[in-house]
Chain A
Amino acid sequence: MANSAPDLRRELLDAIGVADPEQLFEQIPADHRLRGALTLPPALRSEVELERHLRTLLARNGSAESHLSFLGRGVWPHHVPAICDELAQRTEFVTSEWGTPASDHGRNQAWFEFASQLGELLELDFVGLPVYSWGCALGHAVRMAARITGRRRVLVPADLDPERRAVLRTYCEPPETRSHLTIELVAVDAETGGLDLADLERRLGDDVAAVYFETPTSLGAIEGRAAEIAALARGRGAETIAGVDPLSLGVLAPPSSYGADIAVGSTQPLGIHMNCGGGTGGFIATRDEERYARQYPTLQVSIAPTRVPGEHGFAMALFEQSSYGRREEGNDWTGNSVYLWAVVNAAYMALLGPQGFRDLGELILQRCHYAARRLGALDGVRIRYPHAFKELVVDFSGSGRTVAAINAALLERGIFGGSDLSTDHPELGQSALYCVTEVHAQEDIDRLADALQEVLAR
Chain B
Amino acid sequence: MTRDLPRYHAAVWDEPVVLELGRPGRRGFLAPEPEPDVRADVDALLPPGVRREAPPALPELSEFEVQRHYLHLAQMTLGMMGINLFGTCTMKYNPRVNERVTARPELAEVHPGQPEETLQGVLEVVHRFERILRELSGMERFVFQPGGGADAAYTHACITRAYHASRGELERRTEVITTIQTHPCSAATAAAAGFDVITLPLGPDGYPTLESLKAAVSDRTAALMVGNPDDMGIYNPEIKQWVEAVHEAGGLCFYDHANFNGVMTRIRARELGFDACMYMLHKTFAGPKGGGGPAVGAYGCAEHLVPFLPRPLVEERDGRYGLDHDGPQSIGRVREYWGNVPVVVKAYSWVRALGAEGLRQAADLSVIANNYMETRLLEIPGVTKSHPQIAAHRLEMTRYSLEQVTEETGIDVHDIQNRMVDYGVDAPWLAHEPWLIPQPITPEPGELWSKEDIDTWIDVLAAVVQEAHDDPERVRTAPHNQAIHQVDASGVDDPDQWATTWRAHLRKRAAA
Contacts and interface: CB of A to CB of B under 8 A. Distances in A.
Do A and B actually bind? yes
Contacts of A83: 63, 66-67, 70
B214 interface: no
Interface in A348-362: 349-360, 362
Contacts of A178: 194
Interface stretch (B145-153, B401-409, B464-472): B145-153
B291 A64 contact: no
Interface in B157-207: 158, 161-162, 165, 170-171, 184-185, 187-195, 197, 199
B109 A249 contact: no
B504 A125 contact: yes
Contact of A100 (B45, B51, B359, B418): B418
Contacts of A33: 266-267
A281 B349 CA distance: 24
A388 to B, nearest CB: 8
Interface stretch (B246-254, B298-306, B339-347): B339-347
A182 interface: no
Nearest to B344: A278
B150 A323 contact: yes
Contact of A60 (B17, B121, B486): B121
Contacts of A102: 10, 418, 421, 479, 482-487
Interface string B470-498: 00000001010011111111011101011
A215 interface: yes
B89 interface: yes
Interface string A118-148: 1111011111110011111000000100000
A101 B46 contact: no
A119 B251 CA distance: 45
B215 interface: no
A166 interface: yes
B294 to A, nearest CB: 5
| B contact residues, range | 35 or more
Contacts of A31: 240
Interface stretch (A41-49, A204-212, A231-239, A394-402): A41-49
B122 to A, nearest CB: 5
A453 interface: no
- Residue of A169, A275, A325 with highest tally of chain B CB at under 10 A: A275
Contacts of A354: 55-58, 60
B368 A16 contact: yes
Nearest to A253: B52
Interface string A322-358: 0111111110111111111101001101111111111
Contacts of B292: 97-98, 129, 299, 336-337, 339-340
A93 to B, nearest CB: 6
Contacts of B76: 105-106, 109
A169 B332 contact: yes
Nearest to B311: A166
B107 A103 contact: no
A71 interface: yes
A250 B110 CA distance: 27
Nearest to A44: B352
A320 B78 contact: no
A198 interface: no
Given A3-B369, A98-B86, A170-B331, A51 B97 contact: yes
B37 interface: yes
A320 B493 contact: yes
B397 interface: no
B365 A4 contact: yes
Interface stretch (A21-29, A150-158, A375-383): A21-29
A54 B58 contact: no
A177 B194 contact: yes
B18 A117 contact: yes
Nearest to B394: A27
Contacts of A59: 106, 121
B6 to A, nearest CB: 14
A154 to B, nearest CB: 16
Contacts of B115: 62, 407, 411, 416
A179 B352 CA distance: 44
B38 interface: yes
Contacts of A174: 161-162, 165, 170, 194
A166 to B, nearest CB: 4
Contacts of B453: 2
A132 B359 CA distance: 30
B34 A367 contact: yes
A93 B291 contact: yes
B460 interface: no
A86 B35 CA distance: 30
A106 B483 contact: yes
A25 B502 contact: no
B341 A365 contact: no
B335 interface: yes
19 contacts: A3-B451, A21-B368, A32-B240, A35-B268, A44-B352, A71-B113, A101-B487, A117-B59, A163-B333, A167-B333, A275-B108, A276-B342, A277-B336, A301-B500, A313-B487, A333-B153, A363-B31, A365-B45, A369-B38
Given A167-B332, A223-B47, A276-B119, 8 more contacts: A51-B97, A75-B111, A102-B479, A115-B500, A300-B500, A338-B294, A339-B291, A438-B32
